[in-house]
Structure 1
Amino acid sequence: MSTVVDTVKTIVDPILETHHFELADIEFVKEGGSWYLRVYIDKPGGITLNECVLVSEALSEKLDAMSPDPIPQAYFLEVSSPGAERPLKNQRDFENALGEYIHISLFKKQAGQKVFEGFLKALDADTLTLEVKDKARRKTLTFERAGIANARLAIEF
């Protein structure tokens, strides 16, 4: 349903710009027989519940006023923060995560593993470099971006 996502993005972007928020992601998914339109927003320092409500009300009002209805089926609208372990999906997300502790999952094993956590030290169009713990030492590993299945911010323990 990328047309719903594209439509919602064009509607929500000006709302977010007005308040200096950023769009983290949009999902339109069917779960357990119900449709959910999820809009994830953020800002430096984190987003508040009141800010989510503000965006939800403004977006709902704009969607309800559109004719023809861009989302003909019934759905639940959820506007929330992407959370402390937000996914890293695009170049801007990775750039904002430089120096941060992240989690990556690979399509194929590298150094005998498919999952790594460490500090994102460098990034270019084709690779990213993590500083990972290896027992009591730290080592630097470089990964092909095309080989990364998932990436997200992580909490270091």
Structure 2
Amino acid sequence: MSRRFVIEAVMVAIYGELLIPSAPVEYIVPYSTVMELYEFQNSQEPLMHDPADDLHVKHKINELITYLEEPLNRKKIERALSNPWSKSPSILFGDNIVWTIVNAVDNERFGDFLDPIETEIILTAEREQAPILSDQLELIRRIIEAEIPVQVFDIGDFDFAMEDNIFFNKLR
């Protein structure tokens, strides 16, 4: 059985260990975070503190964009954009990784408490009944403080999350 996580596209570029999971995994990616890849690609602002790491991550972002723009993958993504909350057919990344792009729609449910992308991540996690995987400790803290009924893991706990047998449904 594949483990599922809601994640931002850039996290896969930053954290290489996400590309070599110990078991099959499905990353559910809100489309707005795919669009962020283009912003990061064109930005002069560093993503990482170390210049060598920054160069490496920007190279990985370019590779990810190139892969997602391949005709078959682009066609799959475009299918997801036909309606709000539509999902793409599976996009394969090697033997153990599948991406599903979701045309998430921010409904401002959390107001100023969360930004639109954070809102889409949480709403996607609720709809898909899948935990969130994030490196944003502030987001994790706000989810816990607001008692939002989603499961969330820090990326540093990725191996634990892959082994974890506590599923989203148990939170309800």
Name which one, 1 or 2, has greater alpha-carbon Rg.
1
**Which protein is richer in strand relative to its size?**
1
Q: TM-score range by the shorter chain?
A: under 0.3
**Which protein is richer in helix relative to its size?**
2
TM-score by length of 2: 0.23
